[in-house]
Amino acid sequence: MSGPPAESPPPAGPRELPIGIFDSGVGGLTVLRAIRRDLPGESLLYLGDTARLPYGTKSPRTVTRYAIQTTRRLVKKGIKLLVVACNTASAVALEAVREELDGLPVIGVVRPGAEAAAHASRSGRIAVLSTESTAAYGAYEREIRAIRPDARVLSRGCPLFVALAEEGWSSGPIVQAVAREYLAPILEEHDPDTIVLGCTHFPVLTPTIREVVGPNVAIVDSAATTARAVRAELDSRGLRGTERPEGTIRLFATDAPERFDRVAARFLPPDLIPREIELVDLLP
Ligand code: DGL
Model confidence pLDDT, tens digit, residues 207-220? 999 999 999 999 99
Q: What is the distance between the alpha carbons of residues 51 and 66, in angstroms, rounded to a whole number? A: 11
State yes or no: pLDDT of 236 exceeds 50: yes
Ligand 1 atom closest to 198 (CA): 4
Quick one: pLDDT at residue 1? 41
Q: Is 199 an annotated catalytic residue?
A: yes
**Residue-range domains of the chain with CATH:** 14-108+225-279 (3.40.50.1860), 110-222 (3.40.50.1860)
* Å from CA of 254 to ligand 1 middle: 15
Q: How far is the CA of 201 from the centre of ligand 1 (A)?
A: 7
- For ligand 1, say whether the CB of 56 is within 6 Å of any of its atoms: yes
By the 8 A CB rule, do 203 and 221 touch?
yes
Q: 158 an active-site residue?
A: no
Please give the Cα distance from 99 to 104 (Å, whole number).
9
Q: How would residue 284 be classed by pLDDT, with cut points 50, 70 and 90?
A: low
Instruction: Decide: 131 in ligand 1 pocket, CB within 6 A.
Output: yes
Partners of 216 in the β-ladder: none
Query: Over the stretch 83-128, which tens digit does the pLDDT of each residue have?
Result: 999 999 999 999 999 999 989 999 999 999 999 999 999 999 999 9
Burial 200-226 (b: 16+ CB within 10 A, else e): bbbbbbeebbeebbeeebbbbbbbbbb
What is the pLDDT confidence band of residue 12, given thresholds at 50, 70 and 90?
A: low
For ligand 1, the distance from its centroid to the CA atom of residue 76, given in whole angstroms, is 24
pLDDT, one tens digit per residue, over 141-179 is: 999 999 999 999 999 999 999 999 888 899 999 999 999
Residue 157, sorted as left (phi over 0), alpha (psi -120 to 50) or beta, turns out to be beta
Ligand 1 centre to CA of 277 (Å) is 20
Distance CA(281)–CA(279), nearest Å, equals: 7
The response to whether residue 133 sits with its C-beta less than 6 Å from ligand 1 reads: no
Ligand 1: residue whose CA is nearest its atom 1:
86
